[in-house]
Amino acid sequence: MHTMWKGSISFGLVNVPVKMFAATEDKDVKFKYLHAECGSPVKNIRTCPTCDKQIEWNAVTRGYEYQPGQFVLMSDEELEQIAPQRTKTIDILNFVDLKEIDPIYFNKSYYLAPEDTGSKAYALLRRAMEETGKIAVAKMIIRSTQTLGVLRTYENVLVMESIFYPDEVRSVSQLPAVGADLDVAETEMQMARQLIESLAIPFEPERYKNEYREALQQAIEQKIEGEEITQAAEPKRDQIHDLMAALQASLNVTRGEEASRPVAVGETVVDRPEAAKADGEGVEQAAAAKPKRRRRKTAE
């Protein structure tokens, strides 16, 4: 992996020399914009709509739009004066419990590896954090930007997770009413709990794949090989508007098919021919049939 930053972790009076690596990577399939007539990649050109001409990069300045069409200009020198001091340290501020930080705050993960001269101090900090069960809240400068983050351990490695500042997380009060004060019948709660328990398994990341990316890559390979792109047939879907019926149908699916996902409550279920043809006992008898795995799609 490419080293993206070098510095040290400041832990009290102890400095731990480390190297930083991006822990994750974007695997989205990238497309370029081409000229449809000749197939050449399209270039992005800077133009001024008022002067109606192309401009060079040295003629570009930065401005903050404080009102529509109104800008305050900031020169490079002015920005440099107020920029944070470019230190090469990850300054630990406090230690907290991981469970105290909601996942909404987490942004991006970075691996921290020790420099040759800091292996012992690195191991000391990592083991101390593991034994105390604490994670460290820290600040650092990445690409001239002050970043808030937390240090934690992961598979015997220190990981820094950059996190959002509190004012960067939007308040839920900006949302429309979410029905938090609505009464829920105990029978509905019981079935919802049963549904959750029936789908509860240990978290194994390898279970989950990006089906769209795989399908897109397969389609690209087919185009390269000169084959036609095949389209999967859409399964027939029925609407379920009754909450209890949706919960019961979901439970029936999970009991009869271990790998199935839950039906979206109050929305759509995929029609299952084997179950649909069952008669006499309704959904209970239909659950006895072992249907084939199918996708479900929430109705808009």
| Segment 139-187, tens digit of pLDDT | 998 877 889 999 999 999 999 999 999 999 998 888 887 666 778 888 8
**How open is the CA angle 107-112-113, to the nearest 5 degrees?**
160
Answer whether residue 266 shows pLDDT above 50: no
CATH number of 5-26+83-167: 2.40.290.10
DSSP one-letter code for 198: H
State the chain's mean pLDDT as an integer. Answer: 80
Spans of all domains in the chain:
5-26+83-167, 183-197+209-300
- On the CB side of 286, how many CA atoms lie within 13 Å of its CA? 19
**Rounded to two decimals, what is the model's pTM?**
0.66
Rounded to whole angstroms, the Cα distance separating 195 from 190 reads: 9
From the number of C-beta atoms within 10 Å of its C-beta (0-12, 13-18, 19+), residue 286 rates as: buried
Q: Distance (Å, rounded) from C-alpha 296 to C-alpha 236?
A: 10
pLDDT at residue 33 greater than cutoff 70: yes
- The DSSP call for residue 298 is -
Share of the chain above pLDDT 90, in %: 32
Q: CB–CB of 153/144 below 8 Å?
A: no
Evaluate if residue 274 carries a pLDDT over 50: no
- DSSP three-state, residue 204: coil
With cut-offs at 50, 70 and 90, classify the pLDDT of residue 267: very low
C-alpha pair distances (Å), 141 with each of 62, 96, 287: 21, 21, 57
